[in-house]
């Protein structure tokens, strides 16, 4: 399948209040502010800075770093982000090839705006978002202010922000979608006259439908004199599951800045999902008037995983774009199509979002899977079965799926191997001890037991506990393999850690594979010089992620050695 072109280099120069290309949509990422408001999502300062670095690599136009008046953690994080990420690096370059705007949230209070300036003033392009409610229900019950008072306060606070140094000020109408449209026009007019460079419509309670957002944005554009000279933004919540759709509708209506969060996290049901909005624009821009962003989508997947790990907010498997099942095919009909040509059932290229697992073909085995899918997974484990042998394995597989939902690699091996060969791995884990921390090197001591019952012990030093363990195993096993990747997942604080490793065996590096070969998930590939490279998978599970990693690596090595022994 042809990959969708990466983000172009035609990102317009950032100018407060103006975009040089009317087809360009600025991405305002609020993962570190609104996203962190999700229950249990609080991050440390170091974690927030790390996420901000990845947002810069993604090419986010504006990073909403937090609400400094409400949190000392946000204030300190914003100062670091502003200085280190909001400026070119020491050699004159910039993270992600551009320097993002760094924004801080403020209530319509001078003390908030002062604190916001303290937080982001070190950035090359500092911004603040001053928010104020504009709906009748909020003005009456929350603010206890009249319409005239709200208009006056909006004007005063935007002017104050400009007076203390902010050249870039967003005025956000909280609960805008439940506000009177003509009153919104009036408030925005006052804010623009006071110096606002952006005005934002917030669907704060997530109650709107896409048609309503489109109509509201269009109405503001048509009935607010001067709005064409600044940026119109939308901020959508996901209470009806429509935040991404509403954001796209806002773009169709004329908004050229949109608020999003990684994985769609945020208050209550969350915000518009960064990855969904970005990929919708990238894949269907012809239906959105040719709009585009400056996002480098190849960093989406790793940033999604970073945010998931740091916040502890685990994604549902069917989450669009980045969920565990997003590129997983269980139906035999789908598996057959994907193995022949991925484009038959994959509209989005997984490589475009940074999913680059070397042996990933998207096949997930279940009761609806077919022979072709089973054979592909067995190939990944190093077993090339066909004909009668495959028929027998498939019958056993179907019987197994009637009893078990999740089919493991060990289950598959039992379909094609005798109990004798299964019970005699060449090497098994005896015991393991690691030492690691912020002081000194990570060390590992490991005892392995051979199939003859002999014990061997090795110690090693590594860059981390896993690296140290793998080096210790290598010093004993001495298998002619190369570790290609290792992935570990932990579901919950007291759950089992599951680790998958992929190794290769052969004379050439994995980059020698063609994209079509990797897409079809071939387990072994003949390279032009006559050598063969093989992928071997290994999986391990344990309450300790280091132990699960050791088990997974040992399984991959045992499979490699078993195959070589059978071929000799």
Across 175-302, where does the E strand assignment appear? 198-203, 231-236, 257-260
Tell which residue, 227, 295, 352, 296, has the closest CA to residue 26: 295
Burial 87-118 (b: 16+ CB within 10 A, else e): beeeeeebbbebbbbbbbbbbbeeebbbbbbb
Name the nearest CA neighbour of 543 among 497, 501, 486, 500.
Answer: 497
Tell me how far the alpha carbon of residue 225 is from its chain's centroid: 39
Predicted pLDDT of residue 349: 85
pLDDT value at position 177? 98
Model pLDDT, residue 491: 46
> Are 415 and 396 within 8 A, CB to CB?
yes
Q: Which two tokens stand for residue 164?
A: 């203390």
Domain boundaries, the chain: 18-311, 332-417, 427-509+518-566
Backbone angles phi, psi at 357, to 5 degrees: -55, 130
pLDDT at position 330 is 77
**Domain pair 18-311 / 427-509+518-566, same fold:** no
**Structure tokens that stand for 388 in this block:** 């009668």
- At 134, list the tokens: 């504009």
The Cα–Cα gap between 208 and 179 comes to 12
- Phi, psi of 248, deg, nearest 5: -65, -35
Domain 18-311 maps to which CATH number in 3.40.50.1370, 3.20.20.70, 3.90.1720.10, 3.40.1780.10? Answer: 3.20.20.70
Q: Could you give phi then psi for residue 405, rounded to 5 degrees?
A: -75, -45
Element (H, E) at 557: helix 545-567
Q: What is the pTM of this model?
A: 0.74
The distance from CA 429 to its chain's CA centroid, rounded to whole angstroms, is: 34
| Predicted pLDDT of residue 529 | 35
Q: What is the pLDDT of residue 360?
A: 58
Q: In the prediction, which pLDDT does 324 show?
A: 86
Helices (H), 243-361: 243-253, 274-284, 300-311, 332-340
Q: Round to whole Å and give the CA distance between 118 and 65.
A: 13
Burial of 34 (0-12, 13-18, 19+ CB in 10 A): buried
Going residue by residue through the chain (568 aa), what tens digit of pLDDT does each one get? 333 334 444 799 999 999 999 999 999 999 999 999 999 999 999 999 999 999 999 999 999 999 999 999 999 999 999 999 999 876 555 554 579 999 999 999 999 999 999 999 999 999 999 999 999 999 999 999 999 999 999 999 999 999 999 999 999 999 999 999 999 999 999 999 999 999 999 999 999 999 999 999 999 999 999 999 999 999 999 999 999 999 999 999 999 999 999 999 999 999 999 999 999 999 999 999 999 999 999 999 999 999 999 999 999 999 999 998 888 887 887 877 877 877 888 888 888 999 875 445 677 888 888 888 888 888 877 778 888 888 888 888 888 888 777 777 777 877 777 443 444 678 889 999 999 887 778 999 999 998 888 999 999 999 889 999 999 999 999 877 777 666 665 544 344 566 667 676 654 333 322 232 233 332 333 323 333 445 566 666 667 888 888 888 888 888 777 766 654 4
- CATH, range 427-509+518-566: 3.30.160.270
């Amino acid at each position: 399948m042809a990959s969708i072109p990466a983000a172009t280099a035609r990102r317009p120069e950032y100018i407060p209040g103006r975009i040089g290309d009317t087809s360009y949509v600025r991405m305002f990422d609020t993962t570190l502010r609104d996203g962190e408001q999700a229950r249990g999502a609080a991050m440390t300062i170091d974690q927030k800075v790390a996420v901000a670095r990845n947002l810069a690599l993604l090419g986010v136009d504006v990073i909403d770093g937090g609400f400094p008046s409400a949190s000392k953690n946000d204030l300190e994080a914003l100062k670091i982000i502003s200085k280190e990420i909001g400026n070119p690096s020491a050699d004159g370059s910039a993270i992600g090839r551009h320097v993002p705007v760094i924004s801080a949230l403020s209530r319509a209070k001078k003390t908030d705006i002062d604190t916001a300036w303290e937080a982001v003033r070190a950035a090359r392009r500092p911004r603040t978002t001053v928010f104020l409610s504009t709906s009748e229900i909020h003005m009456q019950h929350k603010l206890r202010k009249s319409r005239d008072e709200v208009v006056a306060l909006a004007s005063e606070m935007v002017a104050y922000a400009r007076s203390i140094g902010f050249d870039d000020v967003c005025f956000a109408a909280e609960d805008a979608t439940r506000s009177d449209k003509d009153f919104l026009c009036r408030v925005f007019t006052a804010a623009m006259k006071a110096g606002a460079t952006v005005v934002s419509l917030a669907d704060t309670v997530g109650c709107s439908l896409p048609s309503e957002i489109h109509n509201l944005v269009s109405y503001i554009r048509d009935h607010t004199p001067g709005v064409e000279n600044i940026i119109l933004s939308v901020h959508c919540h996901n209470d009806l599951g429509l935040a991404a759709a509403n954001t796209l509708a806002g773009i169709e209506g004329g908004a050229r800045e949109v608020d999003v969060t990684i994985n769609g996290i945020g208050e209550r049901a969350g915000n518009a999902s960064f990855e969904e909005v970005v990929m919708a624009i990238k894949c269907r821009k012809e239906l959105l008037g040719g709009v585009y962003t400056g996002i480098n989508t190849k960093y989406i997947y790793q940033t999604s995983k970073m945010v998931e790990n740091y916040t502890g907010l685990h994604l549902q498997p069917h989450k669009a774009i980045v969920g565990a099942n997003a590129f997983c095919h269980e139906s035999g009909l789908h598996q057959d199509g994907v193995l022949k040509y991925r484009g038959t059932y994959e509209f989005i290229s997984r490589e475009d979002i940074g999913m680059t697992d070397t042996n990933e073909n998207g096949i997930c085995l279940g009761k609806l899977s077919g022979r072709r899918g089973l054979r592909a997974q067995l190939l990944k484990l190093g077993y090339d079965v066909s004909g009668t042998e495959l028929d027998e394995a498939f019958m056993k597989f179907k019987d197994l799926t009637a009893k078990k939902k999740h089919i493991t690699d060990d289950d598959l091996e039992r379909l094609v191997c005798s109990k004798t060969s299964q019970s005699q791995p060449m090497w098994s884990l005896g015991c393991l001890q690691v030492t690691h921390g912020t002081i000194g090197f990570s060390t590992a001591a490991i005892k392995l037991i051979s199939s003859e019952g002999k014990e061997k012990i090795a110690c090693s030093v590594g860059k981390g506990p896993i690296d140290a363990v793998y080096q210790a195993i290598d010093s004993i096993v001495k298998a002619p393999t190369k570790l290609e990747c290792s992935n570990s997942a932990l579901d919950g604080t007291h759950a089992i850690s599951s680790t998958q490793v992929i190794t290769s065996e052969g004379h050439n590096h994995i980059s020698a594979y063609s994209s079509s070969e990797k897409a079809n998930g071939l387990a072994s590939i003949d390279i032009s010089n006559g050598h063969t490279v093989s992928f071997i998978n290994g999986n391990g599970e344990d309450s300790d992620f280091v132990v699960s990693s050791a088990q997974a690596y040992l399984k991959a090595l045992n499979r490699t050695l078993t195959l070589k022994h059978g071929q000799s």
